[in-house]
């Protein structure tokens, strides 16, 4: 256990937390302001806040270690032939949940993950509006910090406690027929469900701190949407699986879109039942 950023179990974790918080400070002046929204070629929105946070993060990460490449949502047009040579890189979403940000919601985050050979080493997910930060990685542990001087270790719950309902988290804005079919199957197979809709990477974080049980995503996401929060979840005792049961990873490939996935506690008793439902 650690109660200080200076005692964290990876030398790059504390400076990345500070960078993510700094990016959040850059975002906040644009929040609930009359911000101009531009549509990118993939029909997703981008604002000056996204771009300002991107600049802070890229410059800061390159200053930490120039040998580690950076792949950001706001500068993703790096040829596959170049990315295929990378062994370590930062996977960054400067403002995850741009639609939530534009709507005035607090449910947006700054996401930074360190990737080595396609696996998440650690991830940092920072909420600019309340200075809350989640961070962790497999074998490192996971924490939530509501202020810079207090770190709270977090862990998944293997099943709902007495009097608690099985809770599924889902996107506030994105679904699919496959996702709705799975939710119906979960309700039938596991009993009454509580469905919690929340934006950005916070869905993973609710699982990581034991406030929810499952996050199925049978709708499109990109690598920068998931990597940082996956690190947090894995550090808290969770896992992310492809629908075939294989671990979810980030190998170099042409497309930066993710396959469908399930996020859940690693030792959940209902794990196999969920996989069968997802595969159907």
The pTM (predicted TM-score) of the whole model is 0.94
Task: Output the tens digit of pLDDT for each of the chain's 280 residues.
Answer: 456 787 899 999 999 999 999 999 999 999 999 889 999 988 899 999 999 999 999 999 999 999 999 999 999 999 999 999 999 999 999 999 999 999 999 999 999 999 999 999 999 999 999 999 999 999 999 999 997 778 999 999 988 777 778 899 987 666 678 878 888 887 776 767 888 999 999 999 999 999 999 999 988 899 999 999 999 999 999 999 999 999 999 998 999 999 999 999 998 888 888 888 888 7
Distance CA 274, CA 280 (A): 10
Annotated binding-site members? 73, 93, 95-98, 225
The Cβ of residue 121 has, within 10 Å, a number of other Cβ atoms equal to 20
Annotated binding-site members for Mg(2+)? 73, 93, 95-96, 225
The per-residue DSSP string of 159-226 comes to: S--TTPPEEEEE-SS---HHHHHHHHHHHHHH-SEEEEE--TTHHHHHHHTTS-SBEEE-S--BHHHH
Domains and CATH numbers, the chain: 5-153 (3.30.540.10), 166-279 (3.40.190.80)
Annotated binding-site members for substrate? 73, 95-98, 225
């Amino acid at each position: 256990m650690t109660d200080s950023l200076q005692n964290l179990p990876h030398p790059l974790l504390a400076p990345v937390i500070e960078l993510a918080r700094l990016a959040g400070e850059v975002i906040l002046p644009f929040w609930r302001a009359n911000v101009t929204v531009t549509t990118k070629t993939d029909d997703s929105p981008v604002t000056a806040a996204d771009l300002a946070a991107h600049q802070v993060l890229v410059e800061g990460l390159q200053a930490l270690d120039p040998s580690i490449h950076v792949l950001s949502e706001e500068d993703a047009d790096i040829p596959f032939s170049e990315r295929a040579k990378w062994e370590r890189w930062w996977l960054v979403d400067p403002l995850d949940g741009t639609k939530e940000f534009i709507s005035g919601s607090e449910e947006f985050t700054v996401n930074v993950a360190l990737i080595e050979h396609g696996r998440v080493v650690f991830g940092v997910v920072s909420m600019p509006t309340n200075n809350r930060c989640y961070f962790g990685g497999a074998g490192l542990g996971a924490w939530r910090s509501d202020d810079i001087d207090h770190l709270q270790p977090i862990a998944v719950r293997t099943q709902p406690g007495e009097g608690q309902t099985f809770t599924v988290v889902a996107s506030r804005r994105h679904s699919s027929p496959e996702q709705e079919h799975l939710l119906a199957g979960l309700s039938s197979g596991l009993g009454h469900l509580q469905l919690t809709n929340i934006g950005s990477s916070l869905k993973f974080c609710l699982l990581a701190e034991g406030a929810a049980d499952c996050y199925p995503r049978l709708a499109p996401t990109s690598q920068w949407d998931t990597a940082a929060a996956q690190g947090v979840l894995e550090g808290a005792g969770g896992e992310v699986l492809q629908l075939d049961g294989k671990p979810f990873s980030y190998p170099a490939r042409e497309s930066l879109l993710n396959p469908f996935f399930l996020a859940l506690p690693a030792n959940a008793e209902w794990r196999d039942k969920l996989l069968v439902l997802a595969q159907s």
